[in-house]
Amino acid sequence: MREVVPVIEVEGLSKVFSGKTVVNQLSLRVEKGEIYGFLGPNGSGKTTFMRMLCGLLQPDAGSGTCLGHDLLSEVEQIRSRIGYMAQHFSLYDDLSVRENLDFMARIYAVPKRRQVLAETIERMGLGPFVGQLAGTLSGGWKQRLALAACLLHEPELLLLDEPTAGVDPMARRDFWEQIYSLTAQGISALISTHYMDEAERCNRVAYLAYGNLLTSGTAEEVISAAGLSVWSATGLGIQELASHLKGLPGIELTIPFGNNLHVCGTDPEQLEQSLRPFFAASRYRWEKQESGLEEVFISLMSRRLENDDG
């Protein structure tokens, strides 16, 4: 059997904007049929990385392939096989839904255009809106239209840059259902997001901060690699508790979740030792917890910042 070619494979990819390194030596591998989540704070280089993948930006260093084509020399071939959905709605507000889709289909020279158009409209449930101007659609429907537009030419890889930003939970769920059904057909997707629940829906995730890849792998791998112990305290006055805990040995992070305070550290014994005096206080109910992606990412970020300071 032939070795399976990864959908994306990049090595040491870098991009510098006027002296500032936006993407630093990024190496990444995305397999066929995978949903790959891309996380990280704003300005961490997610968008830049995606733009490099679809040839909008030229990498300053590094190499890689996308769908088996070289990133530097075979941009044209890559472009016709990927679907890129930019962060901001980037279709024409003053064209109707159908006109927008028709335009994109022509741009990609989609064969049997009418048929494909009708099928896409049907599948994405855009039927009731075909005559409406895209600018008048609501956020969720705009996003659906944008997704429909980048599916017309049956791409093998979707690059979706924060597709669900500013979209209501219902529409988000629908959107993910679409993504699942697409990946079931063998399409791969690289999705950047700020939502943790979406990160957990991905097959694998990568966490980027200030251009550096901090961690990557399946959610379980990322969590176990971080080796974080988490205690949660429930009760009133957790802000006060947080201020008491700050700076104690073994306590790396305290993250409030409503009436909950998550206390994290990498050394479980030291963490427990520092917390023991507080266990006695009846105000709080203590519970040991599995760490989630969110705690891991926050801790990675704060460790990163400490390293930069030191």
Partner 1 sequence: MVSKEFLQMRRDRITFAMMLGIPVLQMILFGFAINSDPRHLPTAILSADNSVFSRRIVAAMQNSNYFQVVKTVSRESEAKRLIDTGEVQFVLSIPEQFSRRLVRGEQPTLLLTADATDPAATSNALTAFRIFAEAALASEFRGPLSYLQGTVAPLQVTVHPRFNPEANTRYNIVPGLMGVVLTMTLVIITALAITRERERGTMENLLSTPVRPLEMMVGKIIPYIIVGYLQMGFVLLAAHYLFQVPLSGNLLLLLVVSLLFIAANLGVGLTFSTLARNQLQAMQMAFFFFLPSILLSGFMFPFRGMPRWAQYIGEVLPLTHYLRIVRGILLKGNGLTEILPNLWPIALFLLFALSIGLKRFRKTLD
- What distance lies between CA 251 and its chain's CA centroid? 28
Binder of partner 1 out of 38, 40, 44, 51 (CB under 8 A): 51
Binder of partner 1 out of 25, 29, 61, 92 (CB under 8 A): 92
57 makes contact with partner 1 (CB under 8 A): yes
For 225, residues 6+ apart whose C-beta sits below 8 A from its C-beta are 215, 217
Distance between CA 121 and CA 117 in Å, rounded?
A: 6
Please calculate the CA angle 46-28-162 and round it to the nearest 5 degrees: 25
Q: How far apart are the first and last CA of the chain?
A: 50
Closer residue to partner 1, CB minimum distance, 81 or 304: 81
Binder of partner 1 out of 86, 214, 241, 301 (CB under 8 A): 86
61 makes contact with partner 1 (CB under 8 A): no
Give min distance, CB of 151 to partner 1, in A: 13
Give min distance, CB of 86 to partner 1, in A: 5
17 makes contact with partner 1 (CB under 8 A): yes
Give min distance, CB of 69 to partner 1, in A: 12
Strands (E), the chain: 8-17, 20-30, 35-39, 61-66, 69-70, 82-85, 157-161, 188-192, 204-209, 212-217, 229-234, 253-257, 260-265, 285-289
Distance between CA 134 and CA 47 in Å, rounded?
A: 24
Mark the segment that binds partner 1 (CB under 8 A) among 2-10, 77-85, 167-175, 297-305. 77-85
3-class secondary structure per residue, 127-161: HHHCCCEHHHCCHHHHHHHHHHHHHCCCCCEEEEE
> What is the chain's alpha carbon radius of gyration, rounded to the nearest angstrom?
22
Residues within window 102-161 making contact with partner 1, judged by CB under 8 A = 104, 107-108, 149
Number of residues that bind partner 1 (CB under 8 A): 24
297 makes contact with partner 1 (CB under 8 A): no
236 makes contact with partner 1 (CB under 8 A): no
Binder of partner 1 out of 54, 157, 219, 238 (CB under 8 A): 54
Closer residue to partner 1, CB minimum distance, 2 or 20: 20
By CB under 8 A, name the binding residues for partner 1: 17, 51, 54-58, 75-76, 79-80, 82, 84, 86, 88-93, 104, 107-108, 149
